[in-house]
Structure 1
């Protein structure tokens, strides 16, 4: 990634190459935030009557140190001037109000990083928030990041994959909520008094994604004795090359949630659906990125082939084995991809060695994408419950359901007088258990996967 050395910033000011995390105010801010975090309740408030809670005077003094540090750092980031002013105001408003449930809507609305995407640009972000796949509580977090927006990616977004809200980003440093498996920065996770009319950005940390992909893939390849083509072996060994693959994959994946022949509401967070519906939607978006990568490779794009194997290996080796087995929809998608390729003889597990038909892999992977797309197209004409059963049939064609499943027994086993959202209660937490192959592989890779918690490009080196 090429860093900006000197950047003119609309509205006045110069962004220099000085790193925020090298400034003496950054450790002051980070320490203050880390002191505040354990005082907070799940909703982000501070209960001064709770055991171990500080006095209000102590909390106010600690928060003021954080606010003062932000003001010291702000001149390094003039493009964030309006946000940092609103942020300091929101912090002090929280203190003045007695540290009740925090409301950072004003600073959220002032933070507009997608309006000026520039490769290498730094941002200092502080919000009370939960971190997806990380900390479930709305704690105060501080993170310094850089934008990944090289010209080749900007050109693809401009001409082909319009996604004006997407941010490719990398970590510089972070507080404890990001010392986790979280690889996203989403505005939906931030504590606010009311949701804004629309969100204007969403960030994905391609450095964390690339680093854990490399570590897990290397271990899986060695364990399974998989022979890789030379160019793919080189890609897996190259952090920067993998980051480019992931930022392109993420950009195409992200836009796909609103593109295609979609049922009316394919993936709403607030809607209650069986978890295989979320699994199919996430897999559809990944396989769309794969399909586009095949086209890009044919056109001579140097990143197209890398994206294909990032999707294949991350989906097949890491996703099924990451997280717990309770409604793990990403894990389900990874299991389905592997099983589909195995059923169609693209992958073979013979003599304790995994073999892949590299020539047929793109064609057959695109075939699975087409089956999911046809499910969606037909879903437009189906009632919700019928669509859910059709999706279940697709998944269970390749993955064996749990023997105790009521859904596997068909509609006659369910109380169809209940509304569809109530029938979700009949879905088992692990409706599609791991195959024997993945159970064995999990024992070999669980420590490696656990070691990727909090990983960055620097810690992976």
Structure 2
């Protein structure tokens, strides 16, 4: 197979510098001295930590001339590291440098950034240890055109890994400023998504899933899975539309993405709503001749039904539930078939049922504006349980079946959330079997990048 442009690219020059190599090594050793809150509690470790921070600062200053667009941030970063060391390595506070870091103001294709913060990584390291990441922006012209038109999202930052420390040698594919250790929470101006990891993971998992299920792929879907650059651009387009959808539409008054405790299946519907919106918009853009629109539809469909449904544990796995729901919806509407141990999809007919599910979720949201919170929760459960079979011990299912005493409706909503089982909607027999066959390849994608795909 002819290598794509991304597969033929050599290691980025910044990754090859001695400054980056020593900075990365110093961060790696410093992490071993930190505890979960990011501090270095043992006085006997402080001299060692100070020497390591000195090497980190030296590395930042050596790389800074190649990153002039980040001059103010890198200067603040050096000061934050110095302040942390001078203060005895207590819980770190990198407020000044995270506020100064504004990468979304320079969305230029291939523009590099150096990220060095005490932080946790979602789906990765839960502790606020120092991470060091070299990355570059993915901003092709067609994405710039979409963002400047109907899909404005000034905070959206698609990025690609160049190199990283251990916290990102995981499943984490995001870089969010709110994960950084800081004294207070400012208004954030960006959120990063590593599209190269998303694309590489997608390609590996879907290649295996298609083989396991004997799914015959259309030629354009096969090209998507074979081409890292095409997949990266596809995911950037999907993420652009998905990300802005969280803030658009007839939403329930309480935003979904703030930290609040409620049944996990509501998060399933919100994430699925955003993906189905991306699918719907891609259908419209395909009709207008957009070259990546069809690929977005394949990506949403395949990632949801093949990877999301069987990735992660079975405790409140809201992305997994969304994948199960999409698969079952398509199966029950006769466009997806599992017959003779072979998966087939009616490609010419699949779009309309996906759009139908999108409309059902949008209708649920629209009606929620006139409903009390608990009534909305019950309606959301009714929608999901009309497609997926709940756990036999489910109190929510008993209520839906007419046992009005099954749920504590006379108390605070917390009681309803507590009544949701950790695995309220278990995997179907199809997914139980698929999960066993796919376990190894899904685990193999931890730490994957576009360069290693």
Fold equivalence (TM over 0.5): yes
Of residues 165, 176, 184 in structure 1, which corresponds to 2:166?
A: 176
> Do residues 136 (structure 1) and 126 (structure 2) align?
yes
> Do residues 398 (structure 1) and 364 (structure 2) align?
no
> Do residues 377 (structure 1) and 366 (structure 2) align?
yes
Query: How many aligned residue pairs are there?
Result: 442
- Deviations 1:109-131, CA, capped at 9 Å, x for gaps: 10001112111100001111111
> Do residues 153 (structure 1) and 147 (structure 2) align?
no
List alignment gaps of at least 5 residues for structure 2: none
Structure 2 counterpart SS, 1:398:
coil
- In the alignment, which residue of structure 2 is the partner of 1:44? 38
The within-5 A match list for 1:33-182 is 33-48=27-42, 55-182=45-172
CA deviation after TM superposition for structure 1 residue 416, in Å: 2.0
Paired with 1:125 and 1:149, the residues of 2 have a C-alpha distance of 19
* Cα distance change of structure 1 residues 391 and 193 upon mapping to structure 2, 3 Å threshold: same
> Do residues 32 (structure 1) and 26 (structure 2) align?
yes
Structure 2 counterpart SS, 1:163:
coil
The within-5 A match list for 1:253-264 is 253-264=242-253
Structure 2 counterpart SS, 1:61:
helix
Paired with 1:342 and 1:108, the residues of 2 have a C-alpha distance of 46
Structure 2 counterpart SS, 1:114:
helix
Of residues 407, 416, 420 in structure 1, which corresponds to 2:413?
A: 420
Paired with 1:32 and 1:152, the residues of 2 have a C-alpha distance of 39
> Do residues 206 (structure 1) and 195 (structure 2) align?
yes
Paired with 2:118 and 2:88, the residues of 1 have a C-alpha distance of 15
Structure 1 counterpart SS, 2:116:
strand
CA deviation after TM superposition for structure 1 residue 406, in Å: 1.0
Paired with 1:212 and 1:386, the residues of 2 have a C-alpha distance of 38
Structure 1 counterpart SS, 2:347:
coil
Structure 1 counterpart SS, 2:31:
helix
Structure 2 counterpart SS, 1:241:
helix
* Cα distance change of structure 1 residues 362 and 18 upon mapping to structure 2, 3 Å threshold: closer
CA deviation after TM superposition for structure 1 residue 308, in Å: 0.2
Contact 1:146 1:170 in 2 (8 A): yes
Paired with 2:73 and 2:203, the residues of 1 have a C-alpha distance of 35
Structure 2 counterpart SS, 1:77:
helix
Paired with 2:39 and 2:321, the residues of 1 have a C-alpha distance of 36
CA deviation after TM superposition for structure 1 residue 20, in Å: 1.6
CA deviation after TM superposition for structure 1 residue 2, in Å: 9.2
List alignment gaps of at least 5 residues for structure 1: 4-16
Paired with 1:78 and 1:31, the residues of 2 have a C-alpha distance of 23
CA deviation after TM superposition for structure 1 residue 439, in Å: 0.2
Structure 2 counterpart SS, 1:39:
coil
Residue range with higher mean Cα deviation, 330-339 or 416-425: 416-425
Contact 2:12 2:162 in 1 (8 A): no
CA deviation after TM superposition for structure 1 residue 151, in Å: 1.2
Q: Any runs of at least 4 consecutive aligned residues in structure 1 with deviations exceeding 3 A, and if so which?
A: none
Contact 2:40 2:46 in 1 (8 A): no
Paired with 2:257 and 2:304, the residues of 1 have a C-alpha distance of 22
Structure 2 counterpart SS, 1:143:
strand
> Do residues 288 (structure 1) and 280 (structure 2) align?
no
Of residues 197, 213, 223 in structure 2, which corresponds to 1:234?
A: 223
Paired with 1:312 and 1:231, the residues of 2 have a C-alpha distance of 14
Contact 2:5 2:229 in 1 (8 A): no
Contact 2:408 2:415 in 1 (8 A): no
TM-score normalised by structure 2 residue count: 0.96
> Do residues 351 (structure 1) and 340 (structure 2) align?
yes
The within-5 A match list for 1:182-197 is 182-196=172-186
> Do residues 450 (structure 1) and 443 (structure 2) align?
yes
Contact 2:40 2:90 in 1 (8 A): yes
Paired with 2:66 and 2:12, the residues of 1 have a C-alpha distance of 7
Structure 1 counterpart SS, 2:337:
strand
CA deviation after TM superposition for structure 1 residue 253, in Å: 0.2
- Deviations 1:370-428, CA, capped at 9 Å, x for gaps: 00000000000111111001000000111111111111111521222321133211111
Paired with 1:147 and 1:27, the residues of 2 have a C-alpha distance of 21
Structure 2 counterpart SS, 1:261:
coil
Please provide the CA RMSD for this pair: 1.4
TM-score normalised by structure 1 residue count: 0.94
